[in-house]
Amino acid sequence: MSRKYRLLALVLLIAAVLTGCSGSTEEKIYKRVHSKLAGLESYACEAEIYIKGNKEPGEFRVKQWFAVPDKYRLEVLEPAIMKGKTTVFDGKRLWIYYPYIDQVFLAEDVEAESEESLFIGFFLRDMLETENIQHYMEEVDGTPALTLEIPVKGENRYFYKQKLYINAKDLTPIRLTVLDVNNNITVGVKFNNFNYNPVLAPDLFNSEKASVSMVYEEWDASGMFLQSLEDARDYIGFAPLVLDAVPQGYTVDIIQVLDGAGGRALLSSYKSQGDSFTIIQKIYNKDGGDFKPEGEILDLGGRTAGYSEIEGMRKVTWIEGNIQIDITGNISRGLLLTIAKEIR
């Protein structure tokens, strides 16, 4: 064999080996991605959304929450004119909150499918229902990514196929796109700060919470501001629990008596630079039955409490006698639970 042909044969052999290694690497990444996505129960993230319109495309920045199999919440952050608009799907019905008129509407003439293309959870559902799955490696936003490609259910020239791009290194979703028959993007979602399987507040997908953004209670904010917890006793009708000691570095920010549908409640807020926590105490209304903690169940020194998180905000709730205590804050889980154990 001449030197020329030996060199050509060597080049072809190396190419074949490299191709085999590349395929093997892709399969390993696919198995890792498949295992990660198979364990998805919930997620939270920020997202930049592009929707191709008839005249001009729509562009939005939103917060997303999703719980398997089909509950979701979407809050608009930008553009400013739509900020606060919230969509909540509880698995059966779709609710929309319009902040500029402060009204929540049941969207009886709108199906949840109209927004399903924005959520990874529905992509995974469709992936399980089809045998036509393609996967391959490519670079997305300068990052090596595994692309999962599946058809869109039904025949629609504008919604023809969908792709999910997964970071090959940390297995976080990068983008989700829907393409038409001409391979043009009709819907695009770029994910930021993606959080796998966070503990979500049980009422996050309830219609009555659609108007509450990252907050847990709806109270009339025009209540009385007071100087101390002692002063509050005369107005709330019960003896409030107090902290053994305020955490180091924190100071009292607000003490307020609030009027709500179930009676008066006491709010005390504490802050330290950018961190803060709030304690809300109220008489537990037993009309709804015995208290049942929701979320992650914890034992706080003989107290059974429910714990949940939403995008860095943490909450713990329990009943002390006939008083319901909710502590909410952007503080660490450890500090929040320490505070809960020390309030008496």
CB 243 within 8 A of CB 250: no
**Alpha carbon distance 126, 151 (integer Å):** 9
Query: Does residue 4 surpass a pLDDT of 70?
Result: no
How is residue 271 written in tokens?
A: 């802050």
What are the angstrom distances between the C-alpha of 101 and each of 85, 96, 104, 237? Answer: 10, 12, 9, 34
Token pair of 189 as six digits: 């979602």
Sequence-separated contacts (24+) of 227-233 with Cβ below 8 Å: 227/255, 228/255, 229/255, 229/266, 229/268, 231/255, 232/257, 232/266
pLDDT band for 285, please (50, 70, 90 cuts).
confident
Evaluate if residue 166 carries a pLDDT over 90: yes
Q: What are the φ/ψ torsions at residue 138 (nearest 5 degrees)?
A: -160, 170
pLDDT of residue 222: 42
Reference 76, options 58, 94, 56, 91; nearest CA is 58
Which tokens belong to 316? 């713990």
Calculate mean pLDDT across residues 275-291: 81
Higher pLDDT, residue 221 or 40: 40
Please say if the pLDDT value at position 6 is more than 50: no
Confidence (pLDDT) at 73 = 93
Flag whether pLDDT at 108 surpasses 70: no
Q: What is the pLDDT of residues 178-210, one digit of tens each?
A: 999 999 999 999 999 999 998 887 778 887 777
pLDDT of 223 higher than 60: no
pLDDT at 225 over 70: no
Cα separation, 11 vs 33, in Å, equals 33
* Displacement of CA 70 from its chain's centroid (Å): 13
Output the pTM of the full model: 0.57
pLDDT tens-digit map of 226-242 = 777 887 887 888 889 99
ω into residue 69 within 30 of 0, thus cis? yes
Mean pLDDT of 77-102: 79
174 and 165 in contact (C-beta within 8 Å)? yes
The tokens 């847990």 sit on which residue? 216
Looking at every residue in the chain, the average pLDDT score rounds to 81
Given this model, what pLDDT does residue 104 score? 75
By the 8 A CB rule, do 324 and 240 touch? no
At 262 the pLDDT is 62
Distances (CA, A) of 45 to 28, 30, 196: 26, 23, 9
Confidence (pLDDT) at 63: 92
The mean per-residue pLDDT over the stretch 249-271 comes to 78
Q: Does position 12 have pLDDT exceeding 80, yes or no? A: no
pLDDT of residue 91: 86
Residue 265: name the closest of 329, 341, 216, 323 by CA.
323
Per DSSP, helices labelled H in 39-119 are 113-116
- Pick the more confident residue, 330 or 179: 179
Domains of the chain: 42-196 (2.50.20.10), 214-342 (3.30.200.100)
Let me know if 148 is exposed, middle or buried by CB neighbors in 10 A (0-12, 13-18, 19+). Answer: buried
18 and 157 Cβ atoms separated by less than 8 Å? no
Q: Band of the pLDDT at 286, cuts 50, 70, 90?
A: confident
Greater confidence (229 vs 341) lies with 341
Inform me whether the pLDDT recorded for 247 exceeds 90. Answer: yes
CB-CB neighbours of 339 under 10 Å: 22
Q: What is the pLDDT of residues 305-326, one digit of tens each?
A: 999 887 677 889 999 988 999 8
Query: Whose structure tokens read 């939103």?
Result: 62
